[in-house]
Each structure stands twice: as C-alpha cells, then as structure tokens.
Amino acid sequence: MSRGFQYGVGIFVAVFILMNYAVLPWYVYHGGTLSVPEVTGRTAEDAENILATAGLVGILSDTVLDNSLPAGSVVTQNPKANAIVKYGRHVYLTVCGGEVQVNVPQLRGRSLREAKFALERNGLELGEVEYAASDSSPVNTVISQTVMPIQKVKKGTVVGLTVSSGALSSSTEVPDLTGKSLADAEKVLARTGLRVGIVTEQVNNDLLPNTVVDQFPKPGSSVEPGKSIDLFIVKVGKVLDER
C-alpha cells in the first residue's frame, strides 16, 4: 500500500470526523431545520420529552375540555406534525383538561317530542322509551327520566324516558297492526299502553317474514290499558297441498 494512498485515507477519515462531530452539530444548533414529531394523543410530559429529544421546546399554552382523550393528553400542537422548523423552535401544546360536562334538563311533563329536542340541545342522547298508564300525566308526556335533572353529566350521556300511555281508568282503542312488521307493531302497542300477547306464525310466501296478517282483538275494539294483543305473523315456508 502506497504512502499516498494511506495519506488520502487519513484525510478522508479526518474530514468525516470533523463533519460529523463539529460542522453538522454547529449547523443544527445555529439555524438548522428539522421535522416536528407527532405528539397529539400523548401525555403532556411525554410530548415535552419527545420534543426535547428532537431539539424542540414544548410549551403548554392552553387547556380545553374534550371527551375523546384522557385528561392530560395533548389535543393539538402548533406547529403541526411534520412541519419543517428551526432547531429550538417552541411547539405550543393544547392539553385536555377533562370531559365536557352538560346540564340534564327537567323533562317531566314535556311531550316526547319536546323532551327529545331538549336532550339534543344539551348534547345528550335519547335512550329507551317505555310507556306506562298514568292518571296524573296526559298521553305522550314524560312521567320520569333515568338521569335526574339539574345535574352535570358527560356530554353524550344516554337518558331513558317513561312516557304516559293514558289514564289507568280509561279504555284504549286497539290500533290496526296488519301490514306492519312485528317490531313496528310492538312499538305501536307500547305507545298506546298495550302489549304483545301470543304470536302465531302462518306460512305465507307472498309477504315479508314477520309481517302482521291478523290480530285479536280486532282493530277499533275497546280494551283496558295493558291488555295483550295476540298477533298472527308471516312465516315463509312450503305450503302443504290440501288436495
């Protein structure tokens, strides 16, 4: 191996060491650029550590209420992830301060329609609606609610209602259920304070399965609240030849 070659290799190694340990660090520390890491969803402490490791400074700038992340997590960052910035740049972090809390409205005495709108306005969801006879509440007005009013709960909480189907002492007219699906028939009966009784299946290939084809008592009959209505529904199958 010639002396000139060895000399050249030595020069290359020296330049490499100089660039790697002196020139590049100086460039980074004096105006070099880098890509901002993604820190949203991380805890504020983790985010600050990640940014510091990358050569940036995390600054907690704001707190917001948010149901999508645990308290203490980073909701937004500015600059955003992958932005190209100078070394030492401040990255401003907005941190989740907890869940959004909303007021539960008083729904007793309101119509079902009004109650639903009130829940939506307050960021709540209507849950299961049950019907019960009541001498003190008009038909289709709310008797009670599953979440008590005048308290704060998490936004999106489901509130179930019990709605009046009419007075206990009055009679109820049986609705016409023929042509409805079994599920829809159950809802109609519940709204009128009645219940589904015995369900009998009948073979019929001309109608959709579970379609009500007959009922007892008949539509228009007067019955006591809470009365069971027997239904005859479609079952698809082979019709026996009676010849």
Any idea which fold 101-164 has? Trypsin Inhibitor V; Chain A (3.30.10)
**What is the pLDDT, as a whole number, of residue 17?**
63
**What is the pLDDT, as a whole number, of residue 43?**
93
**What is the pLDDT, as a whole number, of residue 242?**
47
3-96 matches 101-164 in fold: yes
- The mean pLDDT of the chain is 86
**What is the pLDDT, as a whole number, of residue 137?**
86
**What is the pLDDT, as a whole number, of residue 169?**
64
Which portions of the chain are predicted below pLDDT 50? 24, 28, 242-243
Q: Where are the domains of the chain?
A: 3-96, 101-164, 172-235
Query: Which CATH architecture is the domain 172-235 placed in?
Result: 2-Layer Sandwich (3.30)
Torsion 35-40-44-50 (CA) sign: negative
**What is the pLDDT, as a whole number, of residue 243?**
45
**What is the pLDDT, as a whole number, of residue 131?**
86
Q: Indicate the pairing of strand 195-203 with strand 158-164.
A: unpaired
Q: What is the pTM of this model?
A: 0.49
- CATH code at 3-96: 3.30.10.20
Instruction: Give the full edge-to-edge strand order of the sheet including 142-145.
Output: 125-132, 158-164, 142-145
Token code pair at residue 132: 């019960």
96 exposed, middle or buried (CB, 10 Å; 0-12, 13-18, 19+)? buried
Please tell me the distance from the alpha carbon of residue 192 to that of residue 166, in angstroms, as a whole number.
8
**What is the pLDDT, as a whole number, of residue 6?**
62
Q: State the Cα angle at 192 between 191 and 197, rounded to 5°.
A: 95
Q: Other CB atoms closer than 10 Å to residue 20's CB: what's the count? A: 10
User: Model confidence over 86-141: pLDDT tens digits?
Assistant: 999 999 999 998 888 899 999 999 999 999 999 999 999 999 998 888 888 888 89
**What is the pLDDT, as a whole number, of residue 74?**
95
